[in-house]
Chains A and B, each alone.
Chain A
Amino acid sequence: MTAIELPEIELTGPVTAAKPCALHPQAMCPAFGALRVLARIDGAHPVMATDIGCNYGLTFVTHFYGSRKSLLTHQLGTSELMQGDVVEGTRAAIEMAAQEPGCELIPVISLCVAETAGLPEEMLPTRVGNAEVVLVRVPAYAIYSHPETKDVALSTVLARLGEQDGPRADKTVVILGEVFPADPLAIDHLLRRMGVEQTIVLPGRNVGDLRRAGRVGAVAPLHPFYNRTITLFRSWRIPVVGGAPVGISGTYAWIKSLGEMLHLDPVLVNQIAEAERAAAQAVADHQPIEGTVLVTGYEGTELAYARLLIEAGADVPYVSTSIGQDPLVLPDELWLRRHGVRDIIYRKTLEHDVAALDAFKPDFVLGTTPFCNIAKDRGIPALYFTNQLAARPFFLSGGMAATAGFVRNAIAGGARAQWMLDFFAE
């Protein structure tokens, strides 16, 4: 294990040494994360407290990426602010939302302007008709990234709805994280073979799932930014499985630790873990990724993707993300540093990513749309991390095959990127 020492000493690669002038933060509006996961719950009718510009942008992206759900707010401009109508307007919007058919949950999403003006929780109802009213505070100036507001939203509604009474469902596991729909099916299938009785995926579509999540046997976070939610589960004395079923080593370790935590049959668990590890290894052996890849999204899942790509054979010198450094990310960070990643940037800006583009001359880039724009301007194939990776399986050996295969194809298409550049440069 002496080989571990060397890369750790070389922490300052060319990028961090250059200290780029950080001007353009690369993060979605933080509030979008909360709005997305809340708008996707059946029977939930979000009410926003905000100005019209914010309302427009967030409604746009929620209708595009969240759900086909009508969204309510109240006028919050100069005259309403002067008259102190923030509370009155919010209450009126809540009343209207409660009239929607089947309304069970009214998340009140309080954004920059309303938070600055002040929206006291005790002035809002906690229940109207059949609907729980839950205030979710997500001012963009105080929370940096949209993954983190998914956590704020989920932990806030769970704290209200999670049921503590009743028998514990010891063999039910909460799978924590928004993932491609095929992933929870694959995970559920694998866990049932190990002896798990049920899985609940959060954030999900169902209010009932939020209620019974308070009585499960374990929670397995697939993403590293559910800090508040995990703290809540711990306060309920529900154990948390570390790591995530990603790649070869990650999948193996995750299956073993989950089996141990739930006291499942160790022989069976080991068999399944070995089989998954072998299947993932086969992906890496038979269809390895060749080339240098920069992994630079803003979803908070970038470190895990980098880990998978490295195990599949890629050279990943640089990883950046919008989320902050957190103990939950540390295992992946250490793993990546041991496997040749020179720079890992949290709370990144466009300038960080561009400096990495200069320094590492990648064959392929996974990034935000502004960064992909710059990479393609140089004839480097690039794909928008958010749209492309979230649309494919990622977890377990099947996810590794899908994601690695996709990246391999993208790298193979590199000549086209150069052709397009040449065509438009002429």
Chain B
Amino acid sequence: MPNLIRDIPETSGYWGAVWTVCNLPDIHVIADAPVGCYSLLASAVSNYTDAIPNLENITPSFIREAEVMGSGTWPAVENVYKGLHETGKLEGKQLIVVSTAESEMIGSDLSEFMGRLGYNAKFFHSESLTHDEWTGRDRALIWLWENYGGNSATTALEPGLVNIIGPTYGCFNAPADLHEIRRLVEGAGGRINVVFPYEATVADIARLPKAQVNVVMYKEFGHTLANALERPWLYAPMGLRATTDFIRQLAQMLGTTDQAERFIKREKATTLKPIWDMWKGPQGDWYSTTTVGIVATGTYVDGLRAFLGDEMGMPVTLTAARPLRPGDMDNIALRKAIHAGAPSFLFGSINEKIYLSEAGNKMTNFIPAAFPGPIVRRALGTPFMGYAGTVYVVQEIVNRLFETLFNVLPLDTAYGRPAGGPPVAAKPSLPWQPAAKAQLDAALSKLHFLTRISVSQELQMAAETYAHTQHLSEVTPEVVEAVLAGRQGERR
């Protein structure tokens, strides 16, 4: 049975590799690609995710029909190389030629040609027909280390230095999460050695083993490099407990436990104070009845489930990690599930947002938490990770609850009537058949409780008005059905 894919949530090894190596400003990439694989990656998508006007250090070989039909891509790559060389674009750079699905499709392995090019040219086989973006990033990171790195065994450690491995282009929320992890590392008593590859140059790669500890930002990639560096390493944390554990473990490795304990204490009184205040205030009372769904990277799914679910007590009713882990719903199953009903809050990508709008669901609050989807996450103050992340996420949920409440509070209908028109005559209330009442209750039970009072009143009035127009003496299940269908219709 063929494996069907709906609204693919992750891209290929080529994208992951380019989004990794192009962070290094002194690398230039020739993508062995048709025009689309270049422009989608380097501008069309990057414009609206990483919010960069375009990736400047990538040039396509521009595969055309001639290359596909027989000539192979080497002449095109060589031609582009000459142009880049002659116009000085490769001055001071290391050159990497990266394969794409199409170049792999026509069997274009250019490794043997690299000796004919200058600038220390190397070929990276992105295995785009096999690997997804996360494997692509992981392979690119270890490949950079193997090709431009130093030697862990002979490099002297510098106590207190910490690398952060992971943030690349196309990682949702990376700037804010990195900012927070850096703050935590420094708070625990560490000093940053290299942020790789986000803030690195080629020369920094050989300096990686100087760090005493590595922090790997994501569970999806970076671990292979961390293992190769032969230093202890930790994953970046999410939630109150994991973050506290992270600071303590890091401090233990660095020998800075006293400083770390002072930091944790101070954080509880400053950064984290809103979590304690909201817990004690009216907001915390809502948590146990606020349902949450999470469709994002495994890093975010695990982190948000631990924080919102285990720590804050919100029922997490739906999760699916991207890329898929065993037992996770793919988008075909997920779409059906969301059409059938969704939690009050859904963290996800544009795909989940589309499924909500297909279902006419406007009561679920969608919170962007993953790519794909056009969303700018460049502000440093919107982390999901670390202590600051807990505050940001809870604040986001609470404010959206307020927003939902605002939207369902009754608006005086007199404002919508023409000036000077006759007042609307009061109509006597109608009795409800038990089946009709049950149907209304069922519809209301799907809503967040905070909005139920207002929506309940609105639906009751709508049903009775409709029954009046139909000259009925009581509200029947058919009336409720018609009103609910109408609400569904007007939301589309």
Contact = CB atoms under 8 A, between A and B. Distances in A.
28 contacts: A23-B80, A24-B38, A27-B35, A27-B39, A28-B44, A30-B36, A52-B12, A53-B14, A53-B101, A54-B37, A55-B5, A56-B11, A56-B372, A57-B15, A57-B36, A63-B373, A64-B374, A68-B354, A69-B354, A72-B6, A73-B5, A74-B5, A88-B2, A92-B4, A93-B4, A112-B36, A369-B53, A370-B54
B102 interface: yes
Contacts of A73: 4-5, 8
Contacts of A372: 53
Contacts of A51: 12, 101, 105, 128-129
Interface string B341-366: 00000000011001101100000000
A60 B133 CA distance: 15
A53 B59 contact: no
Interface residues of A, number: 58
Contacts of B56: 370
B59 A24 contact: yes
B154 interface: no
Interface in A19-41: 21-32
Interface in B53-79: 53-54, 56, 59-60, 62-65, 67-68
B2 A89 contact: yes
Interface of B: 1-8, 10-15, 34-45, 47-48, 53-54, 56, 59-60, 62-65, 67-68, 80, 83-84, 86-87, 89, 100-102, 105-106, 128-130, 132-133, 331-332, 335, 350-351, 354-355, 357-358, 372-374
A71 interface: yes
Contacts of A64: 48, 350, 373-374
Q: Which 6 A-B pairs have the closest CB atoms?
A: A29-B36, A53-B12, A57-B40, A373-B53, A56-B11, A89-B2
Given A23-B87, A51-B12, 4 more contacts: A57-B36, A57-B44, A60-B372, A113-B105
B105 A60 contact: no
B130 A71 contact: no
Nearest to B170: A56
A81 to B, nearest CB: 7
A142 B62 CA distance: 11
A63 B354 contact: yes
B59 A29 contact: no
A63 B351 CA distance: 9
A53 B11 contact: yes
A11 interface: no
A117 B354 contact: no
Given A96-B4, A369-B53, A31 B102 contact: no
Contacts of A89: 2-4
Contacts of B35: 25, 27, 29-30, 140, 144
B4 A74 contact: yes
A61 interface: yes
Contacts of A113: 101-102, 105, 129
Given A74-B4, A113-B102, A141 B12 contact: no
A88 B2 CA distance: 7
A140 B36 contact: yes
Contacts of A93: 2, 4
Contacts of B42: 370
Contact of A80 (B2, B59, B89): B2
Name, among B8, B10, B42, the residue most crowded by chain A CB atoms within 10 Å (CB to CB).
B8
Contacts of A58: 36, 40
Nearest to B14: A53
B43 A369 contact: yes
B45 A117 contact: no
B129 A23 contact: no
Contacts of B332: 96
Given A74-B2, A142-B65, A52 B39 contact: no
B8 A56 contact: yes
Nearest to B82: A21
Interface in A274-291: none
A53 B412 CA distance: 51
A141 B67 contact: yes
Contacts of B351: 63, 70
Contacts of A30: 35-36
B5 A29 contact: no
A26 B39 CA distance: 8
Nearest to B63: A141
Contacts of A183: none
Contacts of B372: 56, 59-60, 63
Given A141-B67, A144-B35, A373-B54, A53 B5 contact: no
A369 B355 contact: no
A144 to B, nearest CB: 7
B105 A116 contact: yes
Contacts of A24: 38, 59-60
B190 to A, nearest CB: 31
A85 B129 CA distance: 14
Interface string A352-384: 000000000000000011101100100000000
B49 to A, nearest CB: 8
A153 to B, nearest CB: 15
A112 B12 CA distance: 15
A61 B54 contact: no
Nearest to A73: B5
Given A73-B8, A368-B43, A373-B54, A52 B132 contact: yes
B101 A60 contact: no
Interface in A308-358: none
Nearest to B30: A23
Nearest to B36: A29
A249 interface: no
